[in-house]
Every structure is written in structure tokens, then in C-alpha cells.
Amino acid sequence: MKRLIYFADLTHNGLILSSNVFPLSIGLVAAYLCERKPDDIEVELFKYPEGLSSALDKKVPDIVGFANYSWNFDISRQYARAIKRHWPNTVIVFGGPNYGLTDEEINEFWKTNLNLDFHVVQEGEEAFVQLYDNLVDVDFDANEIKLQRREIGNVHYQVGHEIIQGPNIPRLNLEDIPSPYIMGMMDKFFDENLTPMIHTTRGCPFKCKYCTEGNNYYNIVSQREAQLEIELNYISQKVRGPRDLIISDANFGMFKQDYEKARIISDCQRKYDYPKTIFVSTGKNRKERVIDISKILNGAVSMAASLQSTDPTVLENISRSNISIERLAEAGKMANTNNMGTYSELILGLPGDSIATHTKSLRDTVEMSFDNIRIYQLIMLPQTDLNTPANRLLYEMKTKHRIMPRSFGRYTVADETFSSVESEEILVSNSTLSFDEYITCREMDLTIEILHNGKVFLEVQGLCKALGLSWFDFIQRFFVNRYNFTDGITKMYNDFKADTSGRLWDNVESLKSHCKNNIDEMLKNERGTNEMSTGKATSFFQLFEDMNKIVFSLMGDWHKELGQLDNLMQSYLDDLQRFSFLRKQHILSTKHDCSEVFSFDLKKVENNSFKILPEQAAISSKKIFWLSHNLQQGKLIANYTGEFGGTLDGLGKMLMRYPHIHHLFRIPFPEQENRI
């Protein structure tokens, strides 16, 4: 008789999906197990909670394995509890990085997770095979393994107050793990909601203290090449919906093997027009190689420079001193020269951070000309060095708990309905950053999101460049006066500040109690629980006319202060303001295309990324320009609206996930025959 095993990497699915990616991790574990035990098991994978609930109603498995990440830990726990209540003999196995590093963390984990039989730590493929063999040996009686205190590689479990920890299994060669795609295990997930995910390396050579891959176990990098071409061709022919691909590598493009991988992907782009966009963390070093590989991929990859901070003390505190900030900055400039997308990453609240250091990090990254700056909060992740009690004490870290964006819902297993919410612990102050300063920095980060990311106001940014003015200084002028503009903008910042401070709880229990009592309201709230994306969506989709007027008015005031506001400049600013508004209003609708008369050659201005002076763009007679979306933009708009819907929460997720919103701005087409 074949043993039935369910693997689940669940996503919350309220108004929009919290995790809209293929369940790669469980797919790899399942594929390895099926290759090793082809005649002994029957396996099914699950992403959607309703799918798992329906399968449980039809057939009870011998094992349910849950992927344990921060974004699906609670829903997996709730399912495990319900399964154990209805089918106590089913073995529950968790595996993933959302598990402690120290004995103190591990003991605390098992105190509150009594419905789990086993937790797989570190790599899971070989560990699950060994666990399966041991279960077969005791006729799937998990308690018998516990009574015998068997030590199983990479497997932990609890017996009384004792945690049995199996020995570490040597890392696998990635080439020894079969592809779940090629084996057909992922076919059910090719719908219009989920994005395919692959990985071509495992591990990271760096030791960053805030990252789960920073510990020694993951510092040796394993490469995967042999199956990649077959796998990507398979995916390319089946993908539906948005033409995106996620690669989970930590340093894509940094290794010489990545040239061949890029060639394979490029071939798929040529044959299948897929992938159009690739989401991946590019290499932290060897940026010239990253740029070469990005060129091969036809601009589908944005080059990342994960700075985290530009302050030397902060970098030393998190063991980032082995990565050259100067080289990253040079690479960013090279990437922009080659018309590649670029982004940098910063983390607010790292040890030694302050308003001054965070502001300088923002200034440095803006002035390095990165297209987008992704600004994260410091999350106290399990299995990271910063999360240890010693470092918490050393840096006087104060933390709170918050709801993970979009990660909550109500679900039913058998006859039991329950609510679930995911939370994360974030830093809100340390020895060099008070809570009030933390809130101020968050408002500054929102301002960067609104004005800089997505090139929403590239017209003004480019003009600053042409005039030798600092774009960051302009952003700061807006930030300092943020409460002196319109009522709508004042309310947006007040709401952001209230949500940032008001959605924080001292402990997980009080957070969960709040959500349980308010789950109906939360599921109906179209604003969502991510204050950053809500603020950004509010500014762009609800307040854009006000924002547009104020940005150009501020630019005019600055020129007046500098004694540079003559009639030509004022006329140019007026045209740019109108042009900016007409290109971006109702951006997700092709029904607002229009023709307008302008006094400057705006096609020439756009072709120069707006880095042009008024006298260089002036024309002898006014000209009509038709502002419209092209066919490719229409396809993107259809994909985005289908994927994210029309709620403020969904629109905010779209802006944050697809930061190059400027690709959707209407394009100016001159009508030469209609001169005025």
C-alpha cells in the first residue's frame, strides 16, 4: 500500500493573495522523496488553503508536511491543530527557516507548538527521506520514534521537556535534486494568480547578521545547471497570466556559471516571450559580471545594490564590511549608463542607526542614481545573529509585533472554522534611535517611496540634474513641508503615522486577540494593513492632482529663491506640470488618452530623460502631442489589473512589487501635421 503524503506551502487569500508564488520549497522536498521512494508513496502539493481542506475531506494522509515561513506560520499551525484534533494519527512535519537558532529560541518554539510531531531544520530533502524511513520502521507511529529518542539527521522533536536534535546532514549537491516542474508536480499551479519560482544556486558566501543565510551552514554555495534548460522551457510553455519569473538565488549574476544560465533564459525570451520580468537578488560583488548578465537578459533583471546602510559603523555592526560600498555605487552608475533598471536596499534600525545615518544613507543612494530604493524595517528573524539575546541587550533593542501585510484570513477544516493571522517582530528603537525618531524616519521613507521610486516625478528629477541641483535636497524640501500642503496630503501623512504607531503590539498574544475579534472588519478593509503601500497608493491614485501641482510649485519656488525663475523657465514648468498630469492620471485606463498643445518639444525632453534645459526644448511654434498608451502597455495594464484588482491594498502591492510604474505612463506622439 502506498503511503499518502501532503505537502503544503499555504498562502493567505483575503482580498488578494499574500504569497502569489509557486511552492518551490515543498516541491523540491517532494521531488527528492519521490525519486528515492517511487513505488512507496503518493504525493500531492498545496498552495491554497481551500485545496488542502478539500483534499483532507476526501482522503486522510499519513503525513502532512508544512513549509514554515514567517508569512504562513500561523495558518500552518492552525491547520496542524485541526488535523490533529480530527485525525490524531496523521504525522505533522514542519520545515523551514522560521525556527530558532539558539537553544532558548528552540525551547520556546516547542512550548507553543504542541501539535507538531517533527521539525526539519536546514536543508530538508535528505532529512525528510530519513524521517520517512524511520516512520516506515515504526509503522508511522510518531510516538514510538519519540519514546526511542531516535536521532534523525536535521530533525528536531520534543519528548516531555527535552528537545531531541538530530545531527547535521551534509549539504546536498543541487544537481542531485530533481526538478518538481519536470516531474509534473507543479502543473496544478499554472493559473493566472501564481508566479513560477526556481533557484539556480543555494547558499550565500556572506555572513550578514540579519539574514538567515548568514550562518556557517549556508556559506558554501551549490550550483545547479544540468536541468535548468529543460525546466525553463517547460515553464515557459505553461505559464499563464503575468510573464514574470522569480529566482530565489541570493547572488544571481555573481558567479561565472550564471553566464550559461542567462543564455538559457534569453533563449526562452526569444522563443516564448518569457520571462518579461525577473525578480531576483543580484550579486553583492562582481557587479561588472552582473551587468553583463543583465544585458544578456534584455533588461528583464534590475541590478540590485543591497547597501542596507552607508554608515561604516552600522555596516561593521552587521558584518557587511566585506562588501564595497564604493564598488556598488560605481556599478549602479554603470547600470544606469546601460539603461538597466537598478535598485538599492536599506534597512531602518540596524545597530548604530540614527536619524542622521539613515538620512545620509537615503541621500547617498538617491545621489547614486538608483531607480528605486527599497527601505525595509529590521525584522527579528529566527536563525539570525541579530536576533540573539546577547545582541538585543548589547544594542538596547526595543521591539514590537505587527501584522504581516495581507497575511490573515478565515479558514475551515472539516467542521472547524478558525481565523489566522501572521505577525512579525520588528525593531522600533535602539540605543541610537528613539521611537519618535523611528517614526520620523518612516515618514521620510514614505516620502522617498512617493517622490523617487517608480520615477513618478522624473520630469522634476531630470530638471534638477540638468540644472546641477540636488534631487535629494528637493525631496527634503517636500518632506520638511509635508504638513503644510493640502488637507488630503496632511491626512495621508497623519494616517501613515497613526497606522505605523497604532498597529504595533507588545506581544503576539495581544495581536492575535485583536485580529480574532476584528477579523470581519479586516477582511473587508480595502486599505489593507501595509501602511507604506497604502500611503504610496493614496498619493498616486487618489491625490495625484494635488501632488503634481505641489511638486512643480515647489520647483518654481526653489528657482525663485535662487533667482533663476524667468518667463521661459516658468513656461517650461507649466508645460511639464500639465504633461506630467496628463500622462499619469487614470493610469490603468486606456480611455483617458488625449491630445494637447505644448510650447516645448516634449518627445525630445522625454528622450533625454528630462535632463534638458528649457532653451534646448523650446520650439518656434506650438505643437499638438497625442498622449496615449501603446499596445505593450495595454497588455501590462490588463495583467496588473487582473493580478491585483482595484482595491487600495491591491494597487499598493502593485506599486511596491512593480516599482517601474513609469513604464505605464502615456507616451507623447507628435502630430507633425497639426502645428499651430
With a cut of 70, say whether residue 640 has pLDDT above it: yes
All three cell numbers of 494, joined, read 497623519
In the structure, what pLDDT confidence band is assigned to residue 219 with cuts at 50, 70 and 90?
Answer: low
Q: Which residue has the higher pLDDT, 283 or 199?
A: 199
With a cut of 90, say whether residue 210 has pLDDT above it: no
With a cut of 50, say whether residue 675 has pLDDT above it: no
Q: Which residue has the higher pLDDT, 167 or 209?
A: 167
d(CA 126, CA 152) in angstroms, rounded, equals 10
Query: In this structure, are strands 594-600 and 618-628 parallel, antiparallel, or unpaired?
Result: antiparallel
Q: What is the mean pLDDT of residues 228-249?
A: 91
Query: In this structure, are strands 244-247 and 277-279 parallel, antiparallel, or unpaired?
Result: parallel
Q: Are 605 and 652 in contact (CB under 8 A)?
A: no
All three cell numbers of 42, joined, read 503518493
Q: Are 426 and 439 in contact (CB under 8 A)?
A: no
In the structure, what pLDDT confidence band is assigned to residue 326 with cuts at 50, 70 and 90?
Answer: low
With a cut of 60, say whether residue 214 has pLDDT above it: no
pLDDT tens figures, 287-314:
678 778 888 888 788 776 778 899 999 9
Handedness of CA 402, 404, 405, 407 (dihedral sign): negative
**Residue 648 CB coordination number (10 Å):** 18
In the structure, what pLDDT confidence band is assigned to residue 82 with cuts at 50, 70 and 90?
Answer: very high
What pLDDT is attached to residue 336? 58
With a cut of 70, say whether residue 205 has pLDDT above it: no
Those residues with Cβ within 8 angstroms of residue 322's Cβ, 6 or more apart along the chain or in another chain: 206, 207
**Angle at Cα 260 formed by Cα 177 and Cα 244, nearest 5°?**
75
What pLDDT is attached to residue 657? 77
DSSP-H helix ranges across 226-311: 228-238, 258-272, 287-296
Q: Are 409 and 420 in contact (CB under 8 A)?
A: yes
Q: What is the mean pLDDT of residues 591-604?
A: 90
Q: Are 41 and 3 in contact (CB under 8 A)?
A: yes
Bridge partner list, 594: 627
Q: Are 464 and 470 in contact (CB under 8 A)?
A: yes
pTM score of the predicted model:
0.85
Query: What does the chain come to in residues?
Result: 676
With a cut of 70, say whether residue 671 has pLDDT above it: no
List the strands of the sheet with 197-198, edge to edge. 197-198, 244-247, 277-279
In the structure, what pLDDT confidence band is assigned to residue 12 with cuts at 50, 70 and 90?
Answer: very high
pLDDT tens figures, 398-426:
999 999 988 999 999 998 999 999 999 99
d(CA 623, CA 610) in angstroms, rounded, equals 18
In the structure, what pLDDT confidence band is assigned to residue 661 with cuts at 50, 70 and 90?
Answer: confident
What pLDDT is attached to residue 674? 39
Bridge partner list, 93: 65, 118
Which amino acid belongs to residue 667? I
Instruction: Work out the percent of the chain whose per-residue pLDDT is above 70.
Output: 92
All three cell numbers of 89, joined, read 494519527
With a cut of 90, say whether residue 379 has pLDDT above it: yes
All three cell numbers of 340, joined, read 538597466
d(CA 40, CA 132) in angstroms, rounded, equals 11
Q: What is the mean pLDDT of residues 371-393?
A: 88
**What does the H/E/C string look like for 511-562?**
HHHHHHHHHHHHHHCCCCCCHHHHHHHHHHHHCHHHHHHHHHHHHHHHHHHC
What pLDDT is attached to residue 201? 87
With a cut of 90, say whether residue 556 has pLDDT above it: yes
With a cut of 60, say whether residue 239 has pLDDT above it: yes
pLDDT, the chain, mean: 90
What pLDDT is attached to residue 83? 97
**Angle at Cα 416 formed by Cα 413 and Cα 421, nearest 5°?**
75
pLDDT tens figures, 158-195:
999 999 999 999 998 889 999 999 999 999 999 988 99
Q: 125-129, 176-180, 585-589, 658-662: which has the minimum mean pLDDT?
A: 658-662
Query: String of b and e for 298-337 (b: at least 16 CB within 10 Å)?
Result: eebbbbbbbbbbbbeebbebbbbeebebeebbebbebbbe
Which amino acid belongs to residue 453? N
Residue with cell 519569473: 245
What pLDDT is attached to residue 86? 96
pLDDT tens figures, 462-495:
999 999 999 999 999 999 999 999 999 999 999 9
Residue of 71, 52, 124, 56 whose CA lies nearest to 94: 124
Bridge partner list, 411: 418
Q: Which residue has the higher pLDDT, 124 or 219?
A: 124
d(CA 571, CA 577) in angstroms, rounded, equals 10
Q: Are 652 and 537 in contact (CB under 8 A)?
A: yes
3-state secondary structure of 345: strand
Residue of 241, 303, 306 whose CA lies nearest to 278: 303
Q: What is the mean pLDDT of residues 151-160?
A: 96
**What does the H/E/C string look like for 416-470?**
EEEEEEEEEEEEEEECCECHHHHHHHHHHHHHHHHHCHHHCCHHHHHHHHHHCCC
Q: Which residue has the higher pLDDT, 330 or 176?
A: 176
Q: Are 617 and 575 in contact (CB under 8 A)?
A: no
Query: In the 8-state DSSP scheme, what is residue 414?
Result: T
What pLDDT is attached to residue 321? 63
d(CA 123, CA 277) in angstroms, rounded, equals 29
Q: What is the mean pLDDT of residues 243-248?
A: 90
d(CA 490, CA 204) in angstroms, rounded, equals 43
d(CA 649, CA 552) in angstroms, rounded, equals 28
What pLDDT is attached to residue 325? 62
With a cut of 90, say whether residue 650 has pLDDT above it: no
**Residue 569 CB coordination number (10 Å):** 19
Q: Are 665 and 587 in contact (CB under 8 A)?
A: yes
d(CA 149, CA 477) in angstroms, rounded, equals 65
What is the secondary structure of 252-273 as a DSSP string?
Answer: BTSSTTHHHHHHHHHHHHHHH-
